A and B are shown apart, each in its own frame.
Chain A
Amino acid sequence: MTPLTRLDDAVQPSAPPAWPSTGDPVVCLRGAAARVGGRTLWRDVDLSVAAGEFVAVLGPNGVGKSTLVKTILGLQPAAAGEVRVLGGRPGRANHRIGYLPQRRGFDATLRIRGVDVVRLGLDGDRWGIPLPGSARFARRRRAAEARVAEVIDLVGATGYAHRPIGQLSGGEQQRLLIAQALVRRPALLLLDEPLDSLDLPNQGAVAALLGHVAHAEGVSVMIVAHDVNPLLAYLDGVVYLAHGAAVTGTPDEVINGPALSRLYGSPVEVLCTSDGRLVVVGAPEPPAVHADRHADRPSGARDGSR
């Protein structure tokens, strides 16, 4: 792993959030740092995401993107600085957060339907079994089933939601998991590489859906991605992690040659293709925006979240 290089001018701890935030931030990091296994992954990260904002977390493999998501969930304590989520300490309001971990799909022999997995997102954390027969039970069940059907329809998974999830393709599973994250009408969505294993048209469709969820329904959305291009049209902000630090700002402020060169400490160019796609070239670690996933892993390193 690369040694830590502090950024003196690119990120100042007191710098105001780079995209406009109105009202109370849903997620707020001040001078935050993350340590795992005795190694500091990033430090002095400032970030503020307000309701209804759509923010992408970018950066090369192993830089700590998933760790950032886990820090916001309270699964990983911050080593320094302050982290506040939905007005409290991380982990306090996780029932209002929809989370999609980075993963490689379900066991092919898992005999549970897609709808059941989505349903678990709705009430899987409830103890006890409801007593069937009562009117309240029937009403609850109808409401739950309607909500599950609605959200499955929203992600366009109705056609295969009743098949065992282990038999679905990676992209189909991914859509159902997005539905699972959405089903409780969360105030904050944390999606770790949801576009992973989707083809290009589906990446565009999911990006549009998430943009709609953020801007029309007022849900704050943070999405870890390796390719920013499908998201560009909808993003309010970008967090770019590299070399133990982060740049935050609007996509234009962050994904440009000078900003990324400062972050990496070496010349980096951002090319814009004729159709408006961005390509980062010259990043010292393997392709950052267009990533060749996991090709650069040291053999001992393990993936942060399965």
Chain B
Amino acid sequence: MVPGEPGPSWNPIIDLQLLWSFPFMVNAFRAGTIVAVLAGLIGWFMVLRRQSFAGHTVAVAGFPGAAGATLLGVAPVFGYFGFCLAAAAVIAALPRGRDAGYREESAVTGTVNAFALACGYLFIALYKGFLGGVNALLFGNFLGITDDDVLALLAVAVVALAVLAAVGRPLLFASVDPDVAAARGVPVRALSVVFLMLLGAAVAEASQITGTLLVFALLVMPAATAQRLTARPVASLALTVLIGIVATWLGLGIAYFSPYPIGFCVTTVAFAGYLLAHAARAGRFGLPRPRLAGGAT
């Protein structure tokens, strides 16, 4: 909540005009939109590949990254990207079972996860004056996003999406049907490394909006909601992006007018969407109807 501001008018157009009259809010919307698109698309593949645990671990690694960067007096952005990409590289380098593929994330992933959180705590403890920023690192922050930050987010997102567009179809093939894809000459192992790097980039971007603990609001929830609603890949991808953007915009609006951190607001909106999608599907395909009690006593 930005103190001293009036509450919402509940007219979306007037509220958006109000929000966009502040340059920092404009930048927050720009950054949020870029991140929602990138995280949504990469997250769609992550959900399909059942790699959410890897995504979570990469996100958690962003926490010591940002804390360590602050400790060293460097911009947190470098910490996020450095540590998220490094964690993705570690997971990519893990030996895996002969046929387990990406489906069985090894216990090493969990080890990296716990160690990263511990390091984050250590860095924060070492940097005494920083404690107030912990909430922002873990649960997100939309204040103080500069034009340069937006440009950096955009540049990374454009590169990542270009790579995704280039490898998208073979990646889908390798995710759905790795054995046949490998026999067809699709480099399944190399694609899985490329994908983890893309995941690292997407997570590093999302962390800066939602905080490291709540990246799934943009990474998993839009994709999971869209996949619930349709099994057509193209429609599902488009819906993922749409849901991600709507959740981010609503979340930003709520965060502006309320005392809660942005990550919490986006997560709540995205989760509501997920529940609605569940309810919609359950309604469409007929839950077992509650049996009428009849006219008996």
Q: Which residues of A contact B (CB under 8 A)?
A: 73, 75, 91, 94-95, 97, 99-101, 103, 106-107, 110-113, 116-117, 120-121, 123-129, 163-164, 180, 302-303, 305-306
Contact = CB atoms under 8 A, between A and B. Distances in A.
Contact of B170 (A103, A111, A127, A302): A127
Contact of B169 (A103, A111, A127): A127
B184 interface: yes
B179 A305 contact: yes
Nearest to B233: A116
Interface in B16-66: 48, 50
Chain A interface main SS type: loop
B168 to A, nearest CB: 6
A297 to B, nearest CB: 15
A302 B181 contact: no
A128 B165 contact: yes
B99 interface: yes
Interface string B157-181: 0000000011111101100110111
B231 interface: yes
A67 to B, nearest CB: 13
Contacts of B236: 111
B227 A111 contact: yes
A180 B185 contact: no
Contacts of A128: 165-166, 169
Given A75-B183, A99-B184, A112-B176, 12 more contacts: A91-B185, A94-B185, A99-B179, A101-B183, A111-B48, A111-B230, A113-B231, A116-B176, A124-B173, A124-B186, A125-B186, A129-B165
Contacts of B231: 111-113, 116, 163-164
Contacts of A112: 48, 176, 231, 233
Nearest to A190: B183
B149 to A, nearest CB: 29
A103 B168 CA distance: 24
A125 B170 contact: yes
A125 B179 contact: no
Contacts of A97: 183
Given A111-B231, A111-B236, A112-B233, A129 B168 contact: yes
A185 to B, nearest CB: 14
Given A113-B231, A127-B170, A95 B184 contact: yes
B176 A180 contact: no
Interface in B100-127: none
Given A111-B228, A116-B232, A306-B179, A127 B184 contact: no
Chain B CB within 10 Å — which of A124, A127, A302 has the most? A124
A179 to B, nearest CB: 12
A124 B170 contact: yes
Chain B CB within 10 Å — which of A95, A125, A126 has the most? A125
Nearest to A123: B169
Contacts of A306: 99, 179
7 contacts: A100-B180, A111-B48, A113-B231, A116-B232, A116-B233, A125-B173, A128-B166
